[in-house]
Amino acid sequence: MHNILVFLPAIFPFDPAIDTPLGHRNLVLIYDLTWGLQFGYAVYAIYTWRVASRQKPPQK
């Protein structure tokens, strides 16, 4: 966990010339929310795809 925290400043650099502390925090939260939603949708899509592939077509 500590290793991840070391790389966060490189991913979300804080520039005091253009960022405010609150604005930067909100930007990081928006990025986290967006990635979380996209990851959640990917998990949902893979889950539904696997469930659909397990269902057998009706026998005639």
pLDDT digits (tens, 9 = 90+) for 12-51: 676 777 777 777 788 888 889 999 999 999 999 999 999 9
Instruction: Write down the number of H helices and E strands in the chain.
Output: 2, 0
HSE-CB of 34 using CA atoms within 13 angstroms: 6
Q: Tell me, what's the pLDDT at 25?
A: 80
Q: Rounded mean pLDDT of 47-59?
A: 83
- Taking the C-alpha atoms of residue 10 and residue 8, their distance in angstroms, rounded to an integer, is 5
Q: Tell me, what's the pLDDT at 60?
A: 65
pTM: 0.56
